[in-house]
Amino acid sequence: MQKIELEIVALSHSITQSNSYAVILGEVNGIRRLPIVIGGFEAQAIAVALENMHPSRPLTHDLMKNFMTAFDIHLQEVYICDLQEGIFYSKLVCFTANDTIEIDSRTSDALALAVRFGCPIYVHSNILEQAGIENEGTEKTKATEQAMSANINPENSLANMTLNQLNDLLNEVLEQEDYIRAIDIRDEITRRNEQKKS
């Protein structure tokens, strides 16, 4: 069965399940997207690694990476190998000096580790055909993807806050270890600072 390489293109609140998030995987050199619903903890773990944030304490996935590295175990690839009743199943392909093994994993945990190790993510072609959606790169689709990755709560819009309020809020959410919200706030601060320069 053919394996297709994916990359993480967006992380957002899930519109189908409350208190959940969706990670959007995009086909490398292709137009298809694969949305996967994940939990809040895993979404934070992925966001922290994607944005190169350094929490004051290591998160569980950081601990796992440190453990694997200490024992000279390398994560070669992650692949999404099955889809049953809406649940994705994944495997970690790990190798040592003497052996290569596959380890079952929840897809959200596998993605959090893939980002940390910088390894490729693959999916079997039949899963992408079954659960994927096409993205033709239209302006409307790009705007939707940007909105999905923006994660801004309309009731507490960052656009209505002053720069000082944004900086205070950023410090507050970092103390609470809400890294997904921190990314949104940091992006808004960066956008405003860029507007000042131009």
What domains sit in the chain, N to C, each tagged with a CATH number? Answer: 3-138 (3.10.690.10), 150-197 (no CATH)
**Whether the predicted pLDDT of 179 surpasses 80:** no
Number of H helices, E strands in the chain: 7, 8
**Whether the predicted pLDDT of 78 surpasses 90:** yes
CA distances from 7 to 19, 23, 157, 190 (A): 24, 10, 29, 24
Structure tokens at 116: 């940390």
For residue 98, the model assigns a pLDDT of 92
Residue 79 and residue 100: Cα distance in Å, rounded? 14
Strand, coil or helix: what is 142? helix
Strand, coil or helix: what is 103? strand
Tell me the per-residue pLDDT of 51-75, one tens digit each, with 9 for 90 and over. Answer: 888 888 888 999 999 999 999 999 9
